[in-house]
Amino acid sequence: MHKEFLMGNEAIAFGALAAGVDLVAGYPGTPSSEVLETIAKHRNENTYVEWSVNEKAAMEVAAGAAYTGARALVTMKQVGLNVAADPLMSLEYVGVKGGMVVLVADDPGPISSQTEQDTRTFAQFSKLPCFDPSSAEEAYEMIGEAFELSEKYGTPVFLRPTTRVCHGYASVKIKDKDEYYINKPEGFVKDSSRWVIFPRLSYANHGRIEERNEQLSDVFSEYDKNIIIPGESGCRKGIAAGGISFTYALEAMKDTGLLKTFKVSTPFPFPEKKALEFLSGLDEVLCIEELDPVIERALTYVCGKYGLDVKIYGKLSHHIQAAGENTIDSVRAAINKLMGREEENYSPDTADMPPLPVRPPVLCAGCPHRASFYAVKQAMKGRKTIFCGDIGCYTLGNAKPLDMVDTCLCMGAGLGIAQGVGHIEPDTVCFAFVGDSTFFASAITGVVNAVYNRADMTLIVLDNSTTAMTGHQPHPGTGKTMMGEVVSKISIEAVLRGIGVTEVKTVDPLDLDAAVKCVKDTADLPGVKAIIFKSPCIAITKPAGKIHIDKDKCIGCGKCIREIGCPALSLEGKKAVADCSLCTGCGLCSKLCPTAAINGGEQNV
């Protein structure tokens, strides 16, 4: 054992390696991505790691490995679980042979997600056991325990950290390489009565699953991470908490005094006997958790089932906020309210704080997406249009002044929405924007649907040769794998042509005139058309240079700033200035300048 300062996701990765994980598959998504990346970096030669094309593929790859007796890990963010729900809901009935851990990172806030869904609720829905770590150190231990439980009971098991656990750092005690468990998969053994799902099998296994979960409730009541901390004597009020909220409660109780506390590390199956032990001697319990009121509902159920006269508070009783993250401050306020005490003010008085600068996330200076959006905007000026966006950096195209994202729902949805709008409003020019990684992950079926059903729309593929938003992971179009192999790139253009899209054009968006002309020429053609705007992400390429603004020529009209919203440009007095630490020399601004005051940059050299 040795100590390292690790991010929660790194701790999970090392925990998986120490547990002898044989195969890891996943799809990038904040806050989960670093788990797979860390395993890829530190894996031994027998560990297979891949970024799958999407979460459904990853789940199936991991299931196959677990069928052989291998230990398999699949990683994703919470919305990714929706994509992988189909195989997982059936896998629940079939079960696994080797240990299989489904790591799903939830994102209370949400900080960088579409939804505040709770994987603990999904665990109840899918009847699969769920571990909920409260710290990096605990997550490290839990993933090994999850593998063991999975193998013992032949079921996939959830490990569900949240953002603050995934991205928090701590000094974590981890095993040395020679202490790692080595798994020896038996291999796949043919048995169609076990591996082929049929109604009869599902019926029989459903019964077994319900029995097993009752048994697991008892097992978890003995689990050493489901703990009861005694409170100050005589107090008949208690706290139940799980995940990061448990640590917030501990911090808050340094100020409020320690109450009897139940830490729920396995929200499903709920450790009922342990809960009874906790509830004994209490009149009121405050449940502190994020996302869904899972612990609150479970304790309310236990009280009803056993006829206990204990009041259970939490989100449902409005003692804890329904949405968003908890903080130590919000938890302390809730505990003080439970105790009927005034909340002390710890902060300096900031009532007269001057107005602060607003810093929303923006497309980077030099981002090719800015040029792509601007080209479409220019080409479609004055037309009735809809711009259906998608999930990725390019969602930021919604910000002013570009204002080029009219809808955004989930990965790949822009294609379907553009088709639906087009069928009802034939006079609207319908566009769907999708990134290159998202194209492979979930846009291809949308294109097939559009071609088959004779939709009238233009697909814009924003191809920056990487998965930029989540930290530059490779994908099928990049020609690289997580095993470090160089493979043939899957061509987006060839895929589109193969589906039957006859109008497919590839243009460099930074060549503004050509890009605008291409959109004008293409958008009014009948049927499904596609334009691939191809230009690499500025974070993976060397800058082309810097622009230079001729102060004598600049008339301070501000057009360059007003039109494209590049963070490198600002007005100083009556002149435009460029921040040289940000400018990549993409040259887009130089094309708009009415007095040709901006020089340099890619297209002008």
Q: Which residues bind another protein (CB under 8 A)?
A: 3, 5, 30-31, 111-112, 135, 164, 167-171, 244, 247-248, 250-252, 254, 327-329, 332, 345-350, 352-365, 396, 400-401, 470, 558, 561-562, 565-567, 569-571, 581-582
Q: Between residues 61 and 391, which has the closer beta carbon with respect to another protein?
A: 391
Q: Which of 567, 545, 559, 546 is nearest to 591 (CA)?
A: 559
Which residue bears the tokens 């696994």? 96
**Min. distance of Cβ 99 from another protein in angstroms?**
29
Q: Sort 199 into a burial class: Cβ within 10 Å, 0-12 / 13-18 / 19+.
A: exposed
Taking the C-alpha atoms of residue 566 and residue 481, their distance in angstroms, rounded to an integer, is 33
- The Cβ of residue 342 has, within 10 Å, a number of other Cβ atoms equal to 8
**Min. distance of Cβ 461 from another protein in angstroms?**
22
Taking the C-alpha atoms of residue 110 and residue 112, their distance in angstroms, rounded to an integer, is 6
Q: Between residues 235 and 328, which has the closer beta carbon with respect to another protein?
A: 328
Phi, psi of 287 (to 5 degrees): -95, 125
Phi, psi of 430 (to 5 degrees): -100, 125
Q: Between residues 88 and 564, which has the closer beta carbon with respect to another protein?
A: 564
**Min. distance of Cβ 409 from another protein in angstroms?**
19
**Min. distance of Cβ 406 from another protein in angstroms?**
20
Q: Between residues 77 and 160, which has the closer beta carbon with respect to another protein?
A: 77
**Min. distance of Cβ 558 from another protein in angstroms?**
7
**Six-digit token string for 172:** 């974590």
Q: Between residues 213 and 470, which has the closer beta carbon with respect to another protein?
A: 470
Distance (Å) of CA 369 to CA 199, 270, 411, 566: 49, 47, 17, 11
Phi, psi of 427 (to 5 degrees): -85, 0
Q: Between residues 85 and 592, which has the closer beta carbon with respect to another protein?
A: 592
**Min. distance of Cβ 5 from another protein in angstroms?**
6
Distance (Å) of CA 104 to CA 121, 130, 488, 597: 12, 10, 30, 51
Q: Between residues 248 and 313, which has the closer beta carbon with respect to another protein?
A: 248
Q: Between residues 150 and 162, which has the closer beta carbon with respect to another protein?
A: 162
Q: Between residues 178 and 349, which has the closer beta carbon with respect to another protein?
A: 349
**Min. distance of Cβ 146 from another protein in angstroms?**
22
Q: Between residues 190 and 400, which has the closer beta carbon with respect to another protein?
A: 400
Taking the C-alpha atoms of residue 181 and residue 203, their distance in angstroms, rounded to an integer, is 36
Distance (Å) of CA 558 to CA 194, 276, 364, 567, 581: 69, 68, 19, 13, 20
**Min. distance of Cβ 543 from another protein in angstroms?**
13
For 514, the 3-state DSSP assignment is: helix
Taking the C-alpha atoms of residue 547 and residue 249, their distance in angstroms, rounded to an integer, is 52
Residue length, the chain? 605
| Angle formed at CA 32 by CA 26 and CA 37, multiple of 5 degrees | 65
Q: Between residues 304 and 361, which has the closer beta carbon with respect to another protein?
A: 361
- The Cβ of residue 506 has, within 10 Å, a number of other Cβ atoms equal to 15
Taking the C-alpha atoms of residue 455 and residue 432, their distance in angstroms, rounded to an integer, is 12
Taking the C-alpha atoms of residue 245 and residue 257, their distance in angstroms, rounded to an integer, is 17
Q: Which of 240, 246, 298, 292 is nearest to 118 (CA)?
A: 292
**Min. distance of Cβ 355 from another protein in angstroms?**
7
- Taken in order 285, 271, 183, 28, the sign of the CA dihedral is negative
**Min. distance of Cβ 344 from another protein in angstroms?**
9
**Min. distance of Cβ 166 from another protein in angstroms?**
9
